[in-house]
């Protein structure tokens, strides 16, 4: 039980070094926001992100998650920018003070395609990347093991605390706590849950810190890694190329090439 | 070897000494069980021996605590934990919470201390076989039951291979079979030379596996001896410590005049059978 979206499968995308996927995701995000041309973002989604999801066997999950995440954002964007874009001059339709303009719709398309690229890229990374391997790879690339611990434990600990909150709630209900009724009453019912949960967390943090130190967490020794993550030369080169393209897109954007 | 001499400790911002005059020795390859009422200072004593007090938690520590003749409080924490493995009471907090499989969880401490990967593989395989958790190695640590998590927590400390182990109620979440297995593992470790100090309420297991039992009460080791001598001591109840069910039954029988009053009290099932067979008064 974790908060991660990772789906354990066998695919070429899954086998990529996690850092390569992370660099690819960040590069794509930088490129689509630097270039600011809607068809570039859309092209990346159609020709890179969607095929990657299909090859990795996570297309269905990606579709379901992206609909939940993106649809509300895109609807709001189209409604706000499409109907109330102040600089819109080419009017397609009018509804009282609201005007559907070509410029407004194009603006919404530009923003929407970039947000879609950002969300979809991030989801493909999360769906195809084992968090443990990502942390190991990042540690191998120089990230502090303590930072790696903080990120990994956060991913793991949230559901554990949800379970604990559920147990406390059940215990309080067994002692007569009533959760039904008006919102004020339900809000009041949360109070007996908060105190044992928060106090328990403080105790846990102290105990866990003792246990971590007992296992050499602050040891000055050079950390070793049990998990081995392959990192072929080809992927190292690909990462540098991606970084170069991302940097170039930012530089060209600053020079006004994409205006 | 663990050697405590006149150890006294007060938590920060208080003058009250929760421990006051603790003397205790655990020889190489010996298992010593410490029993005592809740809140008597067992966990505090465990943390002192493991080097966390006063290094991490502060407070005033008097007397001397030595592991293999080295004062543990003089060592930096990283060196102290290389000498003393500490199993804490709550297995949920013993696991790192940062690893996605039991296998990775067990080797967490080995990664921190720079153990080469090949050795990690050997050690995790050995300790998993010892504690019979091989089948759990690929599971998420958070998908385990309380008992399974406790075994993983114990494995994650044993795998460090420290010469001294301090265990604070290591079987609190385990069923009788699991508890027995943990004590069998402890016996195997002591056969290999590890010194084990175990804080435990399950006196029948201590009777079976400990070389000696010490009673912690009033801030010090108030009584110490062989399991039989300690567990049949009449003062045990006054220290809020339970004796074995066999001893309790025999005491009740003695009180009712069913058995001879001077007969040595039993501490095990076989003792008990013999006791009730040979010591009956005929009433």
pLDDT tens digits for range B124-167: 999 999 999 999 999 988 888 888 999 999 999 999 999 999 99
Q: Say if B149 falls within a structural domain.
A: yes
pLDDT bracket for residue B45 (50, 70, 90): very high
pLDDT of residue A47: 95
pLDDT of residue A87: 77
Query: Is pLDDT larger for residue B270 or for residue A53?
Result: A53
Give pLDDT tens digits for B268-280. Answer: 888 888 888 887 7
Residues of B in contact with A129 (CB under 8 A): none
pLDDT mean over B253-281 = 83
**Separation in Å, CA of B253 to nearest CA in chain A:** 41
B209: three-class secondary structure by DSSP: helix
Residues of A in contact with B94 (CB under 8 A): 211
pLDDT of residue B35: 95
Give CA–CA dist B178/B169, Å, rounded. Answer: 13
Query: Is pLDDT larger for residue B85 or for residue A202?
Result: B85
Mean of the per-residue pLDDT values of chain A: 86
CATH of the domain at B67: 3.40.50.300
pLDDT mean over B94-111 = 89
For B123, which residue in chain A has the nearest alpha carbon? Answer: A226
Mean of the per-residue pLDDT values of chain B: 90
The verdict on a CB contact (< 8 Å) between B77 and A149 is: no
Given a contact cutoff of 8 angstroms between Cβ atoms, the answer to whether A139 and A148 are in contact is: yes
**Chain B contact for A221 (CB, 8 A cutoff):** yes
B79 with B168, same domain: the answer is: yes
**Chain B contact for A174 (CB, 8 A cutoff):** no
B45 with B179, same domain: the answer is: yes
Q: What percent of chain B has pLDDT over 70?
A: 99
Residues of chain A numbered 176-205 and touching chain B (CB < 8 Å): 204
Does residue B12 have a pLDDT over 90? yes
Q: In this predicted structure, which of A89-93, B3-7, B44-48, B101-105 has the lowest mean pLDDT?
A: A89-93
B35 with B57, same domain: the answer is: yes
**Separation in Å, CA of B116 to nearest CA in chain A:** 6
pLDDT mean over A216-223 = 86
pLDDT bracket for residue A132 (50, 70, 90): confident
**Burial class of residue B172 in the structure, from the number of CB atoms within 10 Å of its CB (0-12 exposed, 13-18 middle, 19+ buried):** middle
Mind giving me the DSSP string for A204-244? HHHHHHHHHHHTTTT--SPP--SS-----HHHHHHHHHHHH
pLDDT of residue A217: 86
Q: Say if B14 falls within a structural domain.
A: yes
B1 with B79, same domain: the answer is: yes
**Chain B contact for A148 (CB, 8 A cutoff):** yes
Write the ipTM. 0.80
Given a contact cutoff of 8 angstroms between Cβ atoms, the answer to whether A41 and A121 are in contact is: no
Q: Say if B238 falls within a structural domain.
A: no
The two tokens of residue B232 are 């049949």
Give CA–CA dist B234/B238, Å, rounded. Answer: 8
Given a contact cutoff of 8 angstroms between Cβ atoms, the answer to whether A148 and A138 are in contact is: yes
pLDDT of residue B11: 94
Name the residue among B224, B223, B275 with its Cα closest to residue B245.
Answer: B275
Does residue A225 have a pLDDT over 80? yes
Q: Which residues form the domain of B266?
A: 243-283
Measuring CA to CA, how many Å separate B210 from each of A95, A156, A201, B33, B159?
86, 37, 35, 6, 22
Could you check whether the bond before residue B54 is cis, i.e. omega within 30 degrees of 0? yes
**Chain B contact for A234 (CB, 8 A cutoff):** no
pLDDT of residue B9: 95
B54 with B111, same domain: the answer is: no
**Separation in Å, CA of B249 to nearest CA in chain A:** 36
pLDDT of residue A63: 93
- Among candidates A132, A160, A224 on the partner chain, residue whose Cβ is nearest the Cβ of B99: A132
Q: Say if B92 falls within a structural domain.
A: no
B133 with B264, same domain: the answer is: no
B24 with B69, same domain: the answer is: yes
Query: Is pLDDT larger for residue A145 or for residue B281?
Result: A145
Question: Can you tell me which residue has the tokens 């105790």?
Answer: A203
Given a contact cutoff of 8 angstroms between Cβ atoms, the answer to whether B257 and B283 are in contact is: yes
Q: Say if B90 falls within a structural domain.
A: no
For A153, which residue in chain B has the nearest alpha carbon? Answer: B98
Total domains in chain B come to 3
**Chain B contact for A146 (CB, 8 A cutoff):** no
Does residue A192 have a pLDDT over 60? yes
Does residue A2 have a pLDDT over 60? no
pLDDT of residue A1: 52
B155 with B42, same domain: the answer is: no
Last residue of a domain, one of B122, B137, B161: B161
Give pLDDT tens digits for B52-72. Answer: 988 888 899 999 999 988 998
B171 with B70, same domain: the answer is: yes
**Separation in Å, CA of A144 to nearest CA in chain B:** 12
- Among candidates A218, A221, A224 on the partner chain, residue whose Cβ is nearest the Cβ of B117: A224
Delimit the domains of chain A by residue range: 11-143+232-259, 156-215
Give pLDDT tens digits for A173-182. Answer: 787 777 677 7
Q: Say if B110 falls within a structural domain.
A: yes
Q: Say if B54 falls within a structural domain.
A: yes
List Cβ<8 Å contacts ≥24 apart for B242-251. Answer: B242/B201, B242/B203, B243/B203, B243/B267, B244/B203, B244/B204, B244/B207, B244/B268, B245/B204, B246/B271, B246/B272, B246/B275, B250/B275, B250/B276
Contacts of B38 (CB under 8 A, 6+ apart): none
Residues of A in contact with B141 (CB under 8 A): 156
The verdict on a CB contact (< 8 Å) between A160 and B142 is: yes
Given a contact cutoff of 8 angstroms between Cβ atoms, the answer to whether B63 and B8 are in contact is: yes
Q: Say if B5 falls within a structural domain.
A: yes
End-to-end CA distance of chain A: 48
Give CA–CA dist B41/B12, Å, rounded. Answer: 15
pTM value is 0.78
pLDDT of residue A152: 77
Give pLDDT tens digits for A70-106. Answer: 999 888 888 887 777 777 778 777 777 778 888 888 8
For A207, which residue in chain B has the nearest alpha carbon? Answer: B93
pLDDT bracket for residue A3 (50, 70, 90): low
pLDDT of residue A182: 74
pLDDT mean over A227-248 = 94
For B159, which residue in chain A has the nearest alpha carbon? Answer: A215
């Amino acid at each position: 039980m974790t908060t991660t979206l990772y789906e354990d499968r066998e695919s070429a995308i899954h086998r990529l070094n996690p850092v390569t996927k992370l660099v690819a995701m960040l590069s794509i995000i930088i490129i689509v926001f630097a270039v600011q041309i809607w068809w570039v973002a859309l092209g990346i989604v159609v020709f890179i992100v969607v095929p990657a999801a299909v090859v990795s066997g996570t297309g269905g999950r990606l579709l379901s998650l992206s609909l939940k995440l993106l649809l509300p954002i895109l609807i709001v964007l189209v409604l706000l920018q499409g109907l109330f874009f102040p600089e819109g001059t080419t009017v397609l339709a009018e509804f009282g003070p609201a005007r559907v303009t070509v410029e407004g719709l194009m603006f919404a398309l530009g923003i929407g395609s970039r947000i879609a690229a950002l969300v979809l890229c991030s989801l493909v990374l999360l769906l195809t990347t084992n968090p443990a391997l990502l942390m190991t790879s990042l540690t191998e690339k120089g990230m502090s093991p303590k930072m790696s611990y903080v990120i990994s434990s956060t991913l793991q600990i949230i559901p554990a605390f949800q379970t604990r909150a559920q147990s406390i709630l059940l215990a309080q209900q067994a002692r007569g706590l009533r959760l039904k009724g008006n919102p004020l009453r339900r809000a009041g019912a949360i109070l007996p849950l908060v105190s044992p949960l928060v106090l328990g967390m403080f105790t846990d943090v102290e105990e866990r810190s003792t246990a971590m130190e007992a296992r050499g967490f602050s040891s000055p020794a050079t950390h070793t890694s049990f998990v081995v993550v392959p990192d072929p030369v080809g992927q190292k080169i690909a990462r540098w190329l991606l970084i170069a393209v991302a940097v170039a897109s930012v530089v060209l954007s600053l020079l006004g090439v994409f205006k | 070897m663990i050697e405590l001499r006149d150890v006294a400790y007060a938590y920060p911002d208080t003058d009250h000494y929760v421990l006051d005059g603790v003397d205790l020795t655990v020889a190489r390859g010996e298992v010593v069980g410490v029993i005592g009422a809740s809140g008597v200072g067992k966990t505090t004593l465990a943390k002192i021996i493991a080097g966390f007090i006063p290094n991490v938690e502060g407070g005033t520590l008097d007397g001397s605590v030595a592991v293999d003749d080295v004062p543990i409080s003089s060592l930096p924490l990283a060196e102290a934990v290389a000498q003393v493995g500490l199993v804490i009471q709550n297995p949920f907090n013993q696991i790192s919470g940062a690893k996605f499989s039991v296998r990775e969880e067990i080797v967490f401490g080995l990664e921190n201390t720079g153990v080469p990967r090949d050795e990690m593989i050997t050690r995790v395989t050995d300790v998993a076989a010892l504690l019979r958790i091989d089948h759990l190695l690929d599971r998420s640590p958070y998908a385990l039951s309380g008992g399974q998590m406790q075994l993983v927590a114990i494995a994650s400390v044993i795998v460090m291979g420290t010469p001294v182990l301090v265990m604070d109620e290591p079987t609190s979440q385990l069923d009788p079979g699991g508890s027995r297995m943990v004590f069998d593992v402890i016996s195997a470790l002591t056969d290999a030379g590890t010194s084990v100090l175990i804080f435990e309420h399950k006196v029948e297991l201590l009777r079976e596996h400990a070389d000696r039992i010490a009673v912690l009460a009033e801030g010090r080791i108030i009584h110490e001896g062989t399991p039989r001598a300690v567990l049949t001591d009449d003062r045990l109840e006054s220290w809020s410590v339970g004796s074995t069910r066999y001893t309790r039954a025999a005491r009740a029988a003695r009180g009712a005049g069913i058995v001879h009053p001077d007969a040595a009290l039993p501490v095990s099932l076989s003792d008990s059978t013999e006791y009730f067979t040979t010591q009956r008064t005929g009433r």
